Amino acid sequence: MRFKIPNLPLFSPKTLNPLTPKPHMASLLTAPEAQARTLHSDPPQDLDDVLCSDQHQQQEEQQQTFADTAPSLCLSGESRIERAWAHWSKLGRPKLIVAPMVDNSELPFRMLCRKYGADAAYTPMLHSRIFTESEKYRDQEFTTCKEDRPLFVQFCANDPEVLLEAAKRVEPYCDYVDINLGCPQRIARRGNYGAFLMDNLPLIKSLVENLVQNLHVPVSCKVRIFPDLQDTIKYARMLEDAGCSLLAVHGRTRDEKDQKKVRANWDAIKAVKNSLRIPVLANGNIRHMDDVHDCLEATGADGVLSAESLLENPALFSGFRTAEWVPGNEESKKDGKLDQADLLVEYLKLCEQYPVPWRMIRAHVHKMLGQWFRIHPHIREDLNAQSILTFEFLYSIVDRLRELGAGIPLHLKETNAATICANGSAT
């Protein structure tokens, strides 16, 4: 079941089944009358007929909970902190979180990561102005379903009213509306959003305050650090004072764009965590579950976000790791009976169920099969030569790789995975 974001008014008179924080993948993977493998991935024009029937009732129930506990900035600072924690607890204190990724943390990928241990997920960054203006953009770039929770919907913005209008459209479908304050790309400089708003802190404050005053769901922010630690701490405190309920800190500065070369600064994340009272998430250098364990221990953060490594290995949060991260002599180097081709097939099935643009699917094929393509580059070339994709073609790529005997297992290291759960601390 997939929702379409309706035009205003926001609610369909239909209602949803109660939320299940974890998906039941068996039912997900057996799509009703499994759509043809060649299904065109652009979202259908009209999805009203697939809207869940009990959505409205559930949304009202959810909003009631927030309305009861949390009317915006008129609350005292203390009450807002309590509210932030109450909400975090209600979500089960998610620890293992899929980071926001443009064109990559879309619904089918989020559902795959949830199956393999993710406690929560961010959407890709959505452009708030385009989101308010274009129904096509909304339909293509933001899809969700009832199992897709907890969900953090991220926007970039530089106009408080436009951001609010965009956020109002998604608030019934998510657990946080998140503001992207960390994008360091040239496009963000040109558009004056993301990390470039760090030069205009009063504007950031007004973006946060306007959402906090007018939304029923809590507001979260994802930031990068400043080169100076005190600036970072002042910045984080300003966000908390403005009403931000959850802060994700990517431990790199705006200029540290090459994530492979620059290690994230976990000390800075720890300093932020120690300076704030709201939940804080750590982001950067989470490649496998030992990193999760180490990062939680080093920073004291309430959870972690992973991006790049999840793209290659969406089963990371279940303790699976690519061979790269298994020391040669390690006892736990055991074949986890799962490989990236298995994960890709699961992902493709989810895409058949929850259509997304082909460019997203293509990106995931390259990420998940990257290692396999290095051994058999002619198959990557065949993929690149295929300007129009079909599911049949993509499944045949997997079959050909398997026939060539290119199985590269993921390894399973259970010990640390087992010690980190959403409701407990890292041990």
Ligand X SMILES: Cc1cc2nc3c(=O)[nH]c(=O)nc-3n(C[C@H](O)[C@H](O)[C@H](O)COP(=O)(O)O)c2cc1C
Cα-to-chain-centroid distance, residue 175: 12
Q: Closest distance between ligand X and the C-beta of residue 284, in Å?
A: 5
Q: Provide DSSP, 249-266.
A: EESS-TT---TTTS---H
Among residues 259, 275, 371, 419, which is the contact residue for ligand X, using CB under 6 A? 259
**Phi, psi (5° rounding) for residue 246?**
-155, 130
Measured CA to CA, the distance from residue 365 to residue 362 in angstroms comes to 5
Range in contact with ligand X (rule: CB under 6 A) among 66-74, 96-104, 225-233, 269-277: 96-104
Q: Closest distance between ligand X and the C-beta of residue 233, in Å?
A: 20
Measured CA to CA, the distance from residue 227 to residue 231 in angstroms comes to 8
Measured CA to CA, the distance from residue 123 to residue 145 in angstroms comes to 12
Q: Is 174 a catalytic residue?
A: no
Among residues 5, 102, 157, 422, which is the contact residue for ligand X, using CB under 6 A? 102
125 is an interface residue for ligand X by CB under 6 A = yes
Site mask, ligand X, residues 305-344, x = CB under 6 A?
Answer: -xxxx-----------------------------------
Catalytic annotation, pick one of 113, 174, 183, 351: 183
Range in contact with ligand X (rule: CB under 6 A) among 32-40, 78-86, 282-290, 333-341: 282-290
One-letter identity of residue 336: G
Look at the alpha carbons of 319, 323, 324, 329 in this order and tell me if their dihedral is positive or negative. positive
Among residues 5, 51, 101, 179, which is the contact residue for ligand X, using CB under 6 A? 101
Among residues 62, 144, 245, 285, which is the contact residue for ligand X, using CB under 6 A? 285
Measured CA to CA, the distance from residue 171 to residue 177 in angstroms comes to 7
Which single residue is written with the structure tokens 């504007």? 203
Site mask, ligand X, residues 149-188, x = CB under 6 A?
Answer: -----x-------------------------x-xx-----
**Phi, psi (5° rounding) for residue 200?**
-140, 70
Bond preceding residue 9 cis, omega within 30 of 0: yes
Range in contact with ligand X (rule: CB under 6 A) among 38-46, 82-90, 94-102, 322-330: 94-102
Among residues 28, 84, 96, 99, which is the contact residue for ligand X, using CB under 6 A? 99
Q: Closest distance between ligand X and the C-beta of residue 238, in Å?
A: 19
E strands along 325-388, which residues? 335-339
Mapped onto helix, strand or coil, the DSSP state of residue 221 is strand
Catalytic positions, please? Answer: 183
Contacts with ligand X, residue ranges (CB under 6 A): 99-102, 104, 124-125, 154, 180, 182-183, 222, 250, 259, 283-286, 306-309
